[in-house]
Amino acid sequence: MTILAIDDEPVMLAHLETELRKVFPKADIVTFDECDEVLAFLETPQSRSLHYAFMDIKLRGMLGIELAKRIKDQCPQTRILFCTSYSYYALEAYQLHALGYLMKPVDADKLREAVSQIEAQLGTFPENGTATPGKLVVHTFGNFEVLYNGTPLVFEREKAKELLALLIDRQGLSMTNGEIEAFLWEELHSPQYLQTLFYSLRKSCAASGLRICSSAHVTTPALM
């Protein structure tokens, strides 16, 4: 497991690294004080094991918010936590789906508490990133997002994502194919297209270990 510590102040960066090593004694902690170095790191094979990025908001050459977006674009599995003195960036940070916002100075106890809360929500263990079987998390505030064992579901079709949002909103209540079509489209579509959409959704879920159950004509959705 790789963890990034990013701060353009050497003293604060050294302190952050020290505290992170108390929380993640077995992790590979990589420190950066320049944004360009972080961007270069994202192009390396090691970035594939990137688990966390702890970073300041104000950095030389680029705001931490922008750098976090670049990290998420390259490594979407990364959990972003900001460690900063600037509380007025908090809303923008959470809109980016940052999972934590800690005010400096941070210490091992604050970091451990934040990590524990995040891992409990996502269903993983912080020491090794091992998933807890069957942990499903659905974000419905802001962007709709589904995570299974901490991993976001990737949808082949945008409409398949809308279909899953509809099924979750129904909370297991039965729906006919016609009712589903009325929710998803303004105009009528062929029944074959809806079945194609269900196939695409099942395929996306199966890739993450989830299973969608439904009958041929009356859909009673269930995530398993």
pLDDT of residue 128: 44
pLDDT of residue 127: 47
Contacting residues for 22 by C-beta, under 8 A, at least 6 apart: 108, 111, 112
Weakly modelled stretches of the chain, pLDDT under 50: 90-91, 93-94, 97, 125-133, 214-224
pLDDT of residue 4: 96
pLDDT of residue 222: 44
Q: Out of 122, 141, 169, pick the residue that ends a domain.
A: 122
Check whether residue 89 and residue 166 sit in a common domain.
no
What 8-state DSSP symbol labels residue 108?
Answer: H
Q: Out of 68, 103, 122, pick the residue that ends a domain.
A: 122
Do β-strands 79-84 and 100-103 pair in parallel, antiparallel, or remain unpaired?
parallel
Domain that holds residue 199: 152-219
Give dist(CA 170, CA 120) in Å, integer: 26
CATH number where 23 lies: 3.40.50.2300
Give dist(CA 71, CA 192) in Å, integer: 39
Give dist(CA 188, CA 184) in Å, integer: 10
Check whether residue 109 and residue 176 sit in a common domain.
no
What pTM was computed for the model? 0.54
Check whether residue 115 and residue 166 sit in a common domain.
no
Establish if 127 belongs to a structural domain: no
pLDDT of residue 142: 60
CA distances from 58 to 20, 42, 70, 79, 206 (A): 20, 20, 15, 19, 41
Q: What are 28-57's pLDDT values in tens digits? A: 999 999 999 999 999 999 998 899 999 998
Check whether residue 116 and residue 159 sit in a common domain.
no
pLDDT of residue 219: 40
Establish if 92 belongs to a structural domain: yes
pLDDT of residue 58: 82
Contacting residues for 112 by C-beta, under 8 A, at least 6 apart: 22, 23
Check whether residue 167 and residue 116 sit in a common domain.
no
Establish if 143 belongs to a structural domain: no
Q: Which amino acid is at 94?
A: Y
pLDDT of residue 164: 83
pLDDT of residue 43: 94
Establish if 130 belongs to a structural domain: no
What's the length of the chain? Answer: 224
Give dist(CA 175, CA 161) in Å, integer: 17
